[in-house]
Structure formats: structure tokens, C-alpha cells
Structure 1
Amino acid sequence: MTTFQEELLPATRRALLHRIAVAQSEGRAPSLVAAVVRGGRAVWHGARTSVDGHGPDEDVQYRIGSITKTFTAVLVLRLRDEGLLDLGDSLEKHLPGTGAGEATIAELLAHTGGLAAESPAPWWERTPGSLRPELDDVLGEQPLLHPVGRRHHYSNPGYTLLGALVEELRGAPWEEVLRREVLEPLGLARTSTQPRAPHAGGWAVHPWADAMLPEPLEDLGRMAPAGQLWSTTGDLARFAVFLAAGNDRVLSAESVREMRTPAAPPEPADVLDGAAYGLGLQIQRRDGRLLVGHSGSLPGFLASLTISVDDDVAAVVLANCTSGPLLSATGADLVRIVAEAEPRIPEPWRPLVQVEPSVLELAGPWYWGTHAFVLRVTADGLISLGPLTGAGRRARFCSNGDGTWTGLEGYYAGESLRPVRRPDGTVSHLDLGSFVFTRQPYDETAPVPGGVDPEGWRGIG
């Protein structure tokens, strides 16, 4: 297991404090609190506030807005893992009569269900949820604005539908299911649907004057699964650990990895920014680093959860203002500061416990046409195949136990790799989704599609 120094280095801690101090000062936030996670636990906490002699700690609640959606997505993935639904199921199959039932559950999770971004007026974030007691009140007369499954269009009502789906299949309120199935197993005792002291008050800061206005505190009612929750940096630090590694009491590592995998086509502007969306998680590439998590906002509050799985670093940033500091950028910077100043120490190399001759026989160079690839057998029981040099299609493959392998990522995800043997048992070639990989370029002894010119390789003369 990778080991880290128990505490961050003094220079790293100062750089983190400087970053949140700049965010709070330039963003004019009444208060801002942050935490950094490394090695499975919170290793740093910092706060800046406009109140002399007082600083919020990791136990003070802030409203976290749309980070709530990630919690709702976890509940839906649990239903899938228990076999109560399939992500390809239409909503209509499990929750009929909504008018938006054509969308699949996966499309709702990834915001590709074609739904409107908001519920009908008045603005749901600043009005009581009692104004929208039924799903029809949330969806309005025309819930679909786009063709289902064709584009990513962020939708708050979509997550209201997912919350209603959870209630339908569990036979209990969303809040109760969330507490029982996620909050309690993960030890998130300071995450709740209503504020519990100590908690911050929400403020609007005047755009052109250093003056503040208190924001109303509304119960979102039916919209709760899209943005109701209150939490702390301490709890969200523990939630970040779960989203990176899984927890078998809630969701397996494989299922949280699925949440972190892009599931929606990005909008044109997002392509330039390297942004995408998974199943309840935002995904972005920043400074060459792949980050997952979610941002959140409600009147009076901003929130950000940012995770770099590769660096084993996460950051939580919370503030009690309607607008101001760019918390997503701040969170990404906190991750970068730690990852660059104190990079993750690689695991020690270890050999295979047991070497299977039939697998070891596959190791080494292969050719797809004239392109040189190399197959490696790794200590985790997988094989990898990728270009010998330069960029190109790379993937790891897991064994199916019958001599075949299935791709785990990239172009070959889900594709079958099958070693084809000669009558004498030696390997003739690899069949990878109909592509033929041979030991020599265009090996005339292998069934290369289209055949090989019988005169073989030659010069120009």
C-alpha cells in the first residue's frame, strides 16, 4: 500500500492556505472552508472568514446544492446492482405516467434525457417546494426540450425524477433511503436535508459594493434530490474517499468507477474545455490532470468536490455566498498544489505470483498490418496491448477464464481478444474484434484479411 507522510509539508500547507485566502478575498465570500484528502483521509483543513476571531471548521454545515445529485446517483446505482432495474430501462417501465418516460435511467443520470434545465417559474431555488407538490408541477406542460439521448443538457428536473424512482422502488421517502443506505454506512453524520447547528448562513454580496443581503432558506420539496443537502468538509472528505475507492457496504469500486466514466456527449464548448459528464459526476481535464466530482450552488452557497484518482488527492471547498469565488477552479488548484508538491509514491513493482505458460506465450510484439504493438502480462492478472511507440489504441484486458480476454477501456472496451492456435497448439495470431494481430507484419502463415501477396516484401526496382 502506498504510504504518505502523516501530515503535509509546511510549504504545501502554506500554499493551500494562500490559495483559499485569495479565493475568499478576491471572491468576497463571507466565509470559505476547505479540506484536502490524501491516502484515504483528510490531511488538511483551512478556513477564511470575514468575522474576526472566528473560523468555520470541518464540522460546520454549508448547503452543497447539486453535489446532492451525486448522492442520488449512488442510490440509483444501488438499485441497479441489486437487479431492481437496468440503466437501459426506460423511466416509464418503473415510474409510469410522467410524460418523460421515454428517457432511460442512464440518460437521466447523464443529463441526456432531453429534459428542461429548470422547473417552470417561479424559480425553484428561491421559492418553497410546496409550490411544486407533484411531479407534474416540476416538469411542466413540455418537459422535453431536446430529442432524448442526443445531447447533454443539464437538468434539475431529471434528478427529481430519479429521486421519485428511488422512492417508488424502495417504498420510502428519498431522504430516508439516503440516510439508511448511504449516509449512515459511510459515517456522514453531519450531512442532512435540513441545517443542523453549527451551520453557516447564506448571503448575497452586492456586486458593486461591499455589502451583504441574507438569502432566503427554502425547503425544495420535490426538487430535493437535485440540490437539498447540507454537509461539511469533514463529511464530503469521507464521501470523496468513497467515490475514489468504493465501499462494499454502499457501492463497489467497479460501480463508482462506472460513475466516473463519461456517459454523455459533451457540448461543443465543453469539448474545448475537456469537460464531460458521467453518471452523477462531472469530469474535466485540467492542467493535464483528469478530475471528477461535482459543483453545487443554491442562493447563499457555493460548493465544490474535486477528485484526482490517479494522484490520490481530493479537495472540498465550501462558501456561503451566492456568487463570487470560482470554487471549481479553487478545488482543482488545491489538488494540483498537493499532487505537484508531494507526488504520489508509486507502488513497489512486484512480479506475478504464478505465471501461466499459455498466457506468457502471448507476451511480446505483435503487428496489426505494419503497426507494431506489444502485449504485456501484468502482476494484477491482466494483459495490456498498445503501440510499441507513440500514441494509438491502448487497452487492458481481463481474462474470461476460457482462454479469451475482454477489453476494459478505450477503443477495445468490451471487445473480445482471442488467441487462435494452430493444430500443434502454438499461437497463430490474435483475433481482436475481427482485427488480426500477427507475430510478423502481414504474416503469410496467418489468415490476414485480403491475403498476402505471394511474392512477399520487395524493393522498388
Structure 2
Amino acid sequence: MTTPQEELLPTTRRTLLHRIAVAQAEGRAPSLVAAVVRGGRTVWHGARTSVDGHGPDESVQYRIGSITKTFTAVLVMRLRDEGLLDLGDPLEKHLPGTGVGEATIAELLAHTAGLAAESPAPWWERTPGTLRPELSDVLGEQPLLHPVGRRHHYSNPGYTVLGALVEELRGAPWEEVLNREILEPLSLHRTSAQPQAPHAGGWAVHPWADAMLPEPLEDLGRMAPAGQLWSTTGDLARFAAFLAAGDERVLSAESVREMRTPAAPAEAADVLDGVTYGLGLQIQRRGDRLLVGHSGSLPGFLANLTISVEDDVAAVVLANCTSGPLLGAVGADLVRIVAEAEPRIPEPWRPLSEVDPEVLELAGPWYWGTNAFGLRVTADGLLALGPLTGAGRRSRLRSNGDGTWTGLEGYFAGELLRPVRRPDGAVSHLDLGSFVFTRQPYDPEAAVPGGVDPEGWRGIR
């Protein structure tokens, strides 16, 4: 149950239902089920038509295809956070003999390792995984199609390799590690590698007739880390909440934020759509809204998970058909409907619990050359730097505990801010990655590289 403050308005709920009804009818899906998450919990669930004679609810399983990759990426990030690997490590360091060992862990996560999109024939999604018992069977004789690290090329074998890496470093099967480290801590009890009743059957819908054909159900074997999982809207709603905020039992907020950060260049065809890829997550800008998540498909099933962290809204959409409804568009629309109809209510403003005079001294206007910036001290203990007017470089900065600060995002991400003080202890200027910020434009009292003309400011002579 949701509290009255968490419930959606009747008009919003009807608009959501209308959107999935149109998607199911026009996309000719045997069934389509969706959920919306806000404030870390499900606030709406909707379904159209039936599974085995009854309407699908939040516990009916559908196959989620490549959303499985995000689960595998979380397992890899856990290995990184535990110090068992570095994302810059070449694969060969931890999993030798694959033939793609020069690719780094980060490149595999971001699909920039140059691997082929699919495993060698026969069509792996429609044939038993027993045909590919070894990693070499998945990669084939020519696993690399592109130079390592040069372009984004989506690769299912790449995530099979990451699954094998997890098994190597954990000393246990991928499925066992997944259950222990993600599914159990997050209470995803209806997510599994094999279907568990009640679950939907997968169907192919004839493109030119209202007729259906059952799709084969295959165990993907070695390819499981790339697309094996079955799940529900209820479980994926909880997983979406985790991807937005983190959970210290699984992965910190900082690490899931890293997963949501672009790590791969957009393909030329995707530039206009604003599509790129992070570490196990797809990233897309639709209008003014930044969306992260993942899509999935296997014969008989379509799946989509879409999150707007800024709006604190996520959507899950599942269908049991090979093609038809465009679930990425549906998910984005469900997020937009809620975000626009019922905008996020911000947390109440609260003052700092305590004020450090040396930090407070940094607040106020600063000038980078003649560009005016403001530096604020925020209640969460960060500094926020941004232009006083118009667009420009913005960043929040986190204290390092020694009087310096590190940028968290944008142009200044990772850059060091160092307040430079005069002999009397007063702040002379700020050094931010070698850029000098002064209290006045080109302050003659500060050490401005290149110096300041001694005649000062003047008009036209």
C-alpha cells in the first residue's frame, strides 16, 4: 500500500493506463504489463489482456533479455569496489587465454572492446546453450571486429566474458553469485535464471495477420550473463530504485552513479537521438529529460527499464511478443506522464548543522578572468560552483578534509580546487585545476598568471 502522499492522482493513473492500452493494442502484444516507481516504491501497476487466462500482476514473470546485462555489470562493479580488480585492468590479467585479453574491464562493460555483436552461428537466442559449452565457442575464431577501445559496438559475447570473469574471481557459477550478492539482498525473489510459475509464454505475432506462433524457450548456457533472466514488474521496480539510489548491501550510491555516467561514445547514427552507454546502462536524452536504464529482447519477449533520477520516477514495461510495441518509447512516456503531471516535491530547505568559518569564507562571487561565478556552501557539505548568468561550467565539489576540494561532475570532475591564502591567512584566490578565480576581475592583488596591466581598467583613448 502507498500512503496518500505517495498515491498518484486518478487523472495520472488513467493517462498511464491509456498509454499502455494503446501500446498493447497497436503493438498487438498478447499481454503487456507495466509499473511506475516513485520515492523508491511502486506507485502504479497496469496490465492489458491475460496470461494463462488471468490478468498479469506484479508477480508474473516475463523474460527480460538484455536487462540481465545490468545485473552482471553490478556484479563486476562489486568486484571493483572490493579491490579485486580495476576497471582499467586488461581482461588477460584476471581471465587469461580468451583471445580478447587486451580489452579492459571498463571497455567490456561499455561495449567498446571491439567484440562482435553476436556469437558465431547458429542463432544463439533460438538454439540450446549446450551448442556453446566453452567461452571459445561463444567468441569464435574472430571475436574482434573493431580496434579495442575505438568505438561503441554492442556485444552479447562481451557480457558472456564478464560473466566468466565473475565466476573466475568468485570461484562460483554466475547464477549462484547473482543470487547471493544481488537477488537476495534486494529481495528480488521473483527473479531467476529459469522460469517459475506463474510466468508468461513467449509468442511471435504474424506481421500481416492477427495470428500467433509460440516461440521456443532455450536455456542460453554460457550466454546467460548476457540475457538469461526472468523477472517481474515488482522485482524490476525494486531494482530500478536500487539503480537510482544505491544500497550499501549491494553497491554504493557513488558506484551506481558511476554506472549511470556515459562511458562510451555515441554511434554516429545515435548522435541525434542523444543515445550513449554507461557501465551496463543505456543512457538517452529525450527532450530535457535524461533517462537511464536498459532494454531487453529474446524470442517471444520484450522488456524495458527506464529511470529519470532527477524526477525520481522510473518505469518498467514487459510484453510477451517477439516484436510489436516499442517499449523504450512507452517507458519514457510513463516517466514523462508522472513527472509532468505530478512534479517531484523537493525536500524542505534546511540550514547547515554547523558552519566552518574557513569554508564560509569561500562562498560568494568569484571571477575566472572576466566570467562571473558564484560559489555556494550547501547543506549537504558540498560546494556548488556555477556561472552567475547564462550557461557555463558547473560542478559540485567535495571536501578532501585537508582544505582542498575535488570536483564531482562536468568540466571540473576530478579537478582539485585549492584556496590560496595570503600570509595573514585571508584567501587571495582559488586555484581550480590551474585556473585562477579572483574576487575581482583580474584582481591585481592576486597571483594571476600573465600578470595584470599596472594601468588597470580604462576606456577607449
TM-score (norm 1): 0.98
Contact (CA 8 Å) 1:4, 1:39: kept in 2 or not?
Answer: no
2:390 is matched with 390
Q: After superposition, where does 1:414-429 map in structure 2 within 5 Å?
A: 414-429=414-429
Q: After superposition, where does 1:169-208 map in structure 2 within 5 Å?
A: 169-208=169-208
Code of the aligned partner of 1:210: D
Gaps of at least 5 residues in structure 1 are none
- Distance (whole Å) between structure 2 residues aligned to residue 330 and residue 367 of structure 1: 45
- Distance (whole Å) between structure 2 residues aligned to residue 250 and residue 194 of structure 1: 23
* 3-state SS, counterpart of residue 296 of structure 1: strand
- Distance (whole Å) between structure 2 residues aligned to residue 397 and residue 243 of structure 1: 23
Residue 14 of structure 2 corresponds to residue 14 of structure 1: yes
Contact (CA 8 Å) 2:91, 2:103: kept in 1 or not?
Answer: yes
Distance 1:83-1:4 versus aligned 2 partners, 3 A rule? farther
Q: After superposition, where does 1:52-67 map in structure 2 within 5 Å?
A: 54-67=54-67
Contact (CA 8 Å) 2:114, 2:149: kept in 1 or not?
Answer: yes
1:272: Cα distance to partner? 1.1
1:130 is matched with 130
1:448: Cα distance to partner? 1.1
**After TM superposition, where is structure 1 displaced by more than 2 Å over at least 4 residues in a row?**
50-54
- Distance (whole Å) between structure 2 residues aligned to residue 394 and residue 4 of structure 1: 37
Q: After superposition, where does 1:348-363 map in structure 2 within 5 Å?
A: 348-363=348-363
Code of the aligned partner of 2:444: E
1:300 is matched with 300
1:12: Cα distance to partner? 0.6
Code of the aligned partner of 2:420: V
1:385: Cα distance to partner? 0.9
- Distance (whole Å) between structure 1 residues aligned to residue 452 and residue 328 of structure 2: 55
Residue 104 of structure 2 corresponds to residue 104 of structure 1: yes
Contact (CA 8 Å) 1:90, 1:104: kept in 2 or not?
Answer: yes
- Distance (whole Å) between structure 2 residues aligned to residue 384 and residue 8 of structure 1: 33
Code of the aligned partner of 1:14: R
* 3-state SS, counterpart of residue 314 of structure 2: strand
Q: After superposition, where does 1:228-307 map in structure 2 within 5 Å?
A: 228-307=228-307
Residue 105 of structure 2 corresponds to residue 76 of structure 1: no
- Distance (whole Å) between structure 2 residues aligned to residue 422 and residue 270 of structure 1: 51
1:42 is matched with 42
Code of the aligned partner of 1:71: F
Contact (CA 8 Å) 2:87, 2:104: kept in 1 or not?
Answer: yes
1:452: Cα distance to partner? 1.2
- Distance (whole Å) between structure 1 residues aligned to residue 316 and residue 296 of structure 2: 11
- Distance (whole Å) between structure 2 residues aligned to residue 325 and residue 204 of structure 1: 13
1:53: Cα distance to partner? 6.5
- Distance (whole Å) between structure 1 residues aligned to residue 351 and residue 439 of structure 2: 25
2:405 is matched with 405
- Distance (whole Å) between structure 1 residues aligned to residue 194 and residue 53 of structure 2: 27
1:269: Cα distance to partner? 2.1
Code of the aligned partner of 1:231: S
Distance 1:340-1:455 versus aligned 2 partners, 3 A rule? same
1:6: Cα distance to partner? 3.2
* 3-state SS, counterpart of residue 386 of structure 1: strand
Gaps of at least 5 residues in structure 2 are none
Cα deviation code 1:141-176 (max 9, x no counterpart): 111111111111100000000000000001110001
1:8: Cα distance to partner? 1.1
What's the Cα RMSD here?
1.1
* 3-state SS, counterpart of residue 185 of structure 2: helix
2:148 is matched with 148
2:341 is matched with 341
Query: What is the aligned residue count?
Result: 459
Distance 1:155-1:204 versus aligned 2 partners, 3 A rule? same
* 3-state SS, counterpart of residue 210 of structure 1: coil
Contact (CA 8 Å) 2:129, 2:219: kept in 1 or not?
Answer: yes
- Distance (whole Å) between structure 2 residues aligned to residue 126 and residue 438 of structure 1: 64
Code of the aligned partner of 1:73: A
2:368 is matched with 368
* 3-state SS, counterpart of residue 272 of structure 2: helix
Code of the aligned partner of 1:237: A
Q: What percent of counterpart residues are identical?
A: 89
1:7: Cα distance to partner? 1.6
- Distance (whole Å) between structure 2 residues aligned to residue 67 and residue 401 of structure 1: 39
* 3-state SS, counterpart of residue 186 of structure 1: coil
1:50: Cα distance to partner? 6.1
1:446: Cα distance to partner? 1.2
Contact (CA 8 Å) 1:62, 1:232: kept in 2 or not?
Answer: yes
Code of the aligned partner of 2:317: V
* 3-state SS, counterpart of residue 436 of structure 1: strand
